[in-house]
Amino acid sequence: MRMQTLKDSLFSKKFTITAEICPPKGTDTSDFLGKARLLKDKIAAANVTDNQRAVMRLSSLACSVLLLKEGIDPVFQMTCRDRNRIALQSDIMGAWALGIKNILCLSGDHVSFGDHREAKAVFDLDSVQLVQVISKLNKGTNMKDTALKGGTDFFIGAVVAPEADPWEPEMIKFEKKIEAGAKFFQTQAIYNMDKFYRFYEYAKKFDVKVLGGILLLKSAKMAHFLNNNVPGVTVPKHLIDELENVQDQLEKGIEIAARQVKELKRFCDGAHIMAIGQEESVVRIIEQSTSY
């Protein structure tokens, strides 16, 4: 029986949930696969991060193939940071040949954030150009318009930061990604639902699907870190107060995330849950989002 895909779920118009699973810092995949199995029947697809925060991990491509073997539809993440245009196209075609159907295009965190700060950042292409390249591969040509002996047919995704301030540059980039061929968007973490609702109403003008990004707040300290270090993400004071006023801050963070998912169900195409090392909490977030 054919595996249900992310595209199937989104176009069935049911509320679609995806989640991130970080590859291991090594070749032992037991923990990675354990988390994947916990999520298997709870989500439509699992994102596999590509050396997230510029920290070296097992490749997104390898882990995406492992998810396929588990019967989980992977979202293969590809950043522009580490590869030039030749390597990007080669790896993308390789992913298609191995059975991967979804791809998410990102610029990638700069190497100055990571564990190999002496590495050379590539950024030969930006995220808009990467979407354009995959659209060409989908049409059977490479970036130089040379015909390929077999192309791809990826469901192309991209990211957007609805809470970016100022919003206008992000809006321009969002529309460029759509023009380049992006068909679905997973957003950066959102905490202002009124602002996100306004973004979603604007995004509905385009033929794309949007999954609102839900980032699990593990502690008030994490919330302050996001506010001080991550552009486009603002955790409001009332949520920080909620976290600071309880003994078990992780438990409160799960409750907050579940409320956010519940709110998204009123109007959005779906939710993309990011738990960063707490993937087992995603199951509880999903379950609690149905109990309010």
pTM: 0.95
What's the number of domains the chain is made of? 1
Per-residue pLDDT of 111-137, as tens digits, reads 888 788 999 989 999 999 999 999 999
As beta bridge partners, residue 157 has 104, 184
Q: Is the pLDDT of residue 1 over 70?
A: no
Say if 164 falls within a structural domain.
yes
- The whole-angstrom separation of Cα 33 and Cα 37 is 6
Say if 137 falls within a structural domain.
yes
Note the pLDDT of residue 248: 96
Note the pLDDT of residue 13: 83
Give the residue-averaged pLDDT of 18-46: 96
Say if 67 falls within a structural domain.
yes
Q: Is the pLDDT of residue 63 over 80?
A: yes
Q: Is the pLDDT of residue 73 over 80?
A: yes
Quick one: what percent of the chain has pLDDT higher than 70? 99
Say if 93 falls within a structural domain.
yes
Q: Smallest Cα–Cα separation from 35: which of 280, 275, 277?
A: 280
Note the pLDDT of residue 292: 57
Say if 212 falls within a structural domain.
yes
Say if 222 falls within a structural domain.
no
Give the residue-averaged pLDDT of 72-88: 97
Fill in the amino acid letter for 96. W
CATH of the domain at 21: 3.20.20.220
Q: Is the pLDDT of residue 286 over 80?
A: yes
Q: Is the pLDDT of residue 232 over 90?
A: no
Say if 176 falls within a structural domain.
yes
Give the residue-averaged pLDDT of 231-250: 93
Tokens of 157: 């995704």
Q: Is the pLDDT of residue 97 over 90?
A: yes
Structural domain containing residue 28: 6-216+268-277
As beta bridge partners, residue 155 has 102
Say if 192 falls within a structural domain.
yes
Mean pLDDT of the chain: 94
Q: Is the dihedral of CA 221, 227, 229, 232 positive or negative?
A: positive
- Virtual torsion, Cα 32, 211, 90, 54, nearest 10 deg: -60
- CA 125 → CA 139, 168, 245, distances in Å? 19, 22, 45
Per-residue pLDDT of 158-212, as tens digits, reads 999 999 989 999 999 999 999 999 999 999 999 999 999 999 999 999 999 999 9
* Residue spans of beta strands (DSSP E) within the chain: 16-21, 45-48, 74-79, 102-106, 155-160, 184-189, 209-215, 270-274
Note the pLDDT of residue 4: 83
Give the residue-averaged pLDDT of 209-217: 97
Q: Is the pLDDT of residue 291 over 80?
A: no
Q: Is the pLDDT of residue 110 over 70?
A: yes
Q: Smallest Cα–Cα separation from 217: which of 194, 244, 195?
A: 244
